[in-house]
Amino acid sequence: MRARSARVVLLACLPLMVLSAGAGVTLGWQGGDEVIQCHSSSEEGVMNLEFPAGGGAVEGSYASDYTAHDTSLLYDEDGSSQYYAEQRTVRIDIQFSGSYSGSDGGVFSFQIVGSGRVDIDNLEGDRFDRSYRAELEGGATGSRNEDGSITIRSVTAEFTPVARNASEIPNTRWLEPPSTPVLPELTLTCTGWPEVPSEIAGPGGIAQQPGAPQPNGPPQPPGLLPPVAPQSRPGIPPAPPPVPAPMGECGSVQVVYLDDLGIDPNPAEIDAFIENALAQGGQDYSLIVSHRQRLLDRFGPPAFQQIDTLLGELGSIAQTCPFVLVVGDPDVVPFAALPNPTSDGDVLFTDDVYGDNDHDNLTMPDIPVARIPDGRSLDLLLTQLSPSHVPEGGNFTLANSKRPHADGVATQVFGTDRILFWSLPARREHVDPSLVDVRHGYFMLHGGSWDTSVWWGEEDVYPEAFTVAEAESQGVILSGSCYGTYTYNRTPVDSITLAFLHSGARAFVGATGITYSPLWTPGPDPTGPMRYDAVFHHAFLDALSRGEPALAAFMQAKEQMADLCESGDATAPEIKMLHEFVYFGKP
User: For 141-156, what is each residue's pLDDT tens digit?
Assistant: 888 887 788 888 766 6
How many domains are contained in the chain? 1
**Nearest-angstrom CA–CA distance, 326 and 480:** 22
State the average pLDDT over residues 452-461: 88
* Exposed/middle/buried for residue 97 (C-beta within 10 Å: 0-12, 13-18, 19+): middle
Half-sphere exposure of 362 (CA within 13 A, CB side): 27
- For residue 10, the model assigns a pLDDT of 19
Q: In sequence order, what E strands does 328-366 have?
A: 336-338, 348-350
Is the model's pLDDT at 329 over the cut of 60? yes
State the amino acid at position 279 in one-letter form.
A
Residue, of 577 and 195, whose pLDDT is higher: 577
For the chain, the residue count is 587
In a domain, 113, yes or no: yes
In sequence order, what are the residues at sequence separation of 6 or more whose Cβ sits closer than 8 angstroms to the Cβ of residue 189?
38, 39, 40, 149, 222, 345
- The residue range of the domain holding 173 is 46-191
In a domain, 32, yes or no: no
SS3 state at 114:
strand
- Positive or negative CA dihedral for 272, 277, 283, 287? negative
Q: Which of 150-159, 474-483, 537-546 has the lowest mean pLDDT?
A: 150-159
In sequence order, what are the residues at sequence separation of 6 or more whose Cβ sits closer than 8 angstroms to the Cβ of residue 80?
none
Which of 37-41, 283-287, 351-355 reaches the highest mean pLDDT? 351-355
Of residues 523, 564, 584, the one with CA closest to residue 11: 564
State the average pLDDT over residues 339-368: 92
Task: Give residue-wise pLDDT tens across range 65-95.
Answer: 777 776 666 666 666 777 777 787 888 888 8
Phi, psi dihedrals of residue 227, rounded to the nearest 5°: -65, 145
The pTM for the full model equals: 0.65
In a domain, 339, yes or no: no
Is the model's pLDDT at 238 over the cut of 90? no
In a domain, 238, yes or no: no
Contact 554, 196 (CB under 8 A): no
In a domain, 36, yes or no: no
In a domain, 118, yes or no: yes
Is the model's pLDDT at 233 over the cut of 50? no
Task: Give residue-wise pLDDT tens across range 23-54.
Answer: 222 222 334 568 888 888 776 678 888 888 88
Residue, of 124 and 58, whose pLDDT is higher: 58
State the amino acid at position 485 in one-letter form.
T
**Nearest-angstrom CA–CA distance, 177 and 187:** 29
- Positive or negative CA dihedral for 442, 445, 451, 453? negative
- For residue 149, the model assigns a pLDDT of 85
